[in-house]
Amino acid sequence: MAGTIALTEWGSAGPEERARLIGRPEGALKMFDPELSRSVGEIVLDVKENGDDAIVRALSRFDGCEVEPDRIRVSEEEFERARAGIDPDLAAAIRVGIDNVRSFSERAIADLDWREEIAEGLVVGEKATPIESAGLFVPSGKGSYPSVLIQIGAPAVTAKVANIAVVVPPVAGGGGEVDPGVLFVASELGISDVFRVNGPAGIAALAFGTETVPQVLQVVGPGSPPVSAAQIECQRYGCVTRMVLGPSESVIVADRTADRELLAADLLNEAEHGPDSASVLVTDSRELIEEVEEPLARRLAELPEPRREYAAKALANGGAILTSDLAETAEVANQFAPEHLQVAVAEEREEEMIGMLVNAGEILVGQQTPIAAANYVLGVPAALPTGRFARVSSGITAETFLKKASIAKASQAALARLADSIVVLAEHEGFPAHAEAVRARAASRD
């Protein structure tokens, strides 16, 4: 069908068409572009070799602001101005988001430490401890994003990471100022190490450390393709980067009971992020697709530019996929493996649908659980895998900032029961000292 959202019937689509439908728009994986990797690699190497001077050059070149090295670190005076000048409604919203993310994070790691006797005299378990340091990248550019620091900072604080550094590019068109909303979030979280650094240079600064920015063990945070490319490049030098994030994407699985107005509103939610985003409706109801066209077109026309243009292109990247039944709807969603997945089916069918969904960064159940709410204040992770990586990875939670050590304790009797198996395996693999270490214990008992 012509119009705001194009329709494709899954059952009649060939392999190439299906691959296109579940693929990602051109530019979604730009972070792997060789030319981008080369140019970003030069910035990364400059920071590695020249530290703060390279940061200053990057700020001048890419942000058009002149910042002396002693201004790279955000001052306490800037924090004080942010706290004093914050809009009370924004402050309240930030606190709601932080509280809910903390609650989710606390529950997510509540049961990570455990021990259990799996056989008589043999106790095994795990101990989770925080990583020593983490760097959090908060993007800037198309807008300012205090919500990003809520979503990745609160989990790091909940995990009790001892040393947390935040890098954030200055707001566009200014003289190096950092978004006060971001500073207010940092203040609420108790994070005082915040640095104004351009995107790729900021990733490199965290990876290697400079005269001002501390080196960290792990870097986390979303960003533009150059930022993602910098994370990839820094991995070559041994810095751990978690989740290279691409453009936003969403899938809504729906049946004929879905409210058309709410469906139209939610289809535009992630679509407005950018022209390389994707917004997809998957349903077994042709009638629903036809009837959502009018409210979708109306709501799209009401968006200001450039969001209207972004959303129109994102809808073209996605569209509507017509399936034969609920099971095929779930199959398509699983193949797409979206960042955001909303379930808009009859309430009595929700659990059935949830049971069939296995590949998604998040699953939001019901039309009273919009993606917008999850992005900001529901408490669930909002830094989520994109580009079909939801098939193998998960969102950023407090567990992202923890590492686990396994624990085991065997009694003399338990080891004696296992001794023959250990010796057989050691001898098969050609490790006589392994076998002797167990025989020595048997000899000491004789």
DSSP 272-287: TT-TT-EEEEEES-HH
Q: Which two tokens stand for residue 321?
A: 């996929």
**CA nearest 390: which of 428, 424, 352, 339?**
339
Q: Which two tokens stand for residue 438?
A: 């167990």
> Using CA atoms, how far apart are residues 189 and 82, in angstroms rounded to an integer?
14
The distance from CA 426 to its chain's CA centroid, rounded to whole angstroms, is: 42
3-state secondary structure of 69: helix
> Using CA atoms, how far apart are residues 401 and 416, in angstroms rounded to an integer?
38
The CA dihedral of 258, 261, 264, 267, to the nearest 10 degrees, is: -60
**CA nearest 74: which of 190, 186, 193, 227?**
193
> Using CA atoms, how far apart are residues 363 and 322, in angstroms rounded to an integer?
20
Rounded to whole angstroms, what are the CA distances from 40 to 199, 204, 216? 10, 10, 20
Catalytic residue among 249, 272, 293, 339: 339
Catalytic residue among 270, 272, 273, 340: 340
Q: Which two tokens stand for residue 350?
A: 């929700």
For this structure, is 428 an active site residue?
no
Residue 381 identity? P
Bridge partners, 341 (sequence order): 251, 363
3-state secondary structure of 161: coil
Pairing of strands 218-220, 194-196: unpaired
Q: Which two tokens stand for residue 170?
A: 């200055």
For this structure, is 273 an active site residue?
no
Which positions are annotated as active-site residues?
339-340
